[in-house]
Amino acid sequence: MALCFSTISLLAQKKIHGMDKSPMDMSYCPANYSFRQIDTTKTDPLVARLIYSRPQKNGRIIFGGLVPYGKVWRLGANEATEIEFFQSVNIHGKTINKGRYTMYAIPDSLKWTIIINTNTDIWGAFSYDSSKDVVRMDLPVEKQATPVEALTMVFTRSVTGYDLQMIWDDEKVTLPIVD
């Protein structure tokens, strides 16, 4: 009986963490790739998969506030944003080989510097190492009339391949990917 009560007491002391305020999300290139597998008439190959956590605006000043200008940002919340390419692609004139990478941004009021880096499986941008950058490019900020509450990243088809659209608050930045 004592063993039963001590076991129950130990189990009661373990706390289960609640829902993360910045839930993890996944975006496929082409969009909805996983669902498209059900329709066998779709033949677009899988180009990339993006895994990121979606922080919320919650009435805060995002760029220049929560996300400071001029500092490396993990491009989301929690773990650094990760992109996996399932084939070689061209970004900003550079061939990026098939594989897993981490994405960062350095926001500014007029542009974001987007960074693709080989150091994966890390939390935040605390161990960011610029010597592991594969490509770094400046992309213009487009102001949006309607603010977006949660950081959203989606792939859309373009003339040369795909665009990765990164949208949060009243800002949108588009990364062209040539497949």
Position 29 scores a pLDDT of 86
CA–CA separation, 164 and 50 (whole Å)? 10
Q: What is the pLDDT of residue 165?
A: 97
- 0.85 cut: is pTM over it? no
Provide the residue-wise pLDDT of the chain in tens; the chain has 179 residues: 554 545 555 455 566 666 666 777 888 888 766 555 556 666 678 899 999 999 999 999 999 999 999 999 999 999 999 999 999 999 999 999 999 999 999 999 999 999 999 999 888 888 899 999 999 999 999 999 999 999 999 999 999 999 999 999 999 999 999 98
The one-letter amino acid at 139: L
Domain positions in the chain: 20-178
CA distance 35 to 134: 31
Question: Three-state DSSP class for 131?
Answer: helix
Q: How far is CA 108 from CA 67, 68, 81, 156, in A?
A: 10, 8, 19, 24
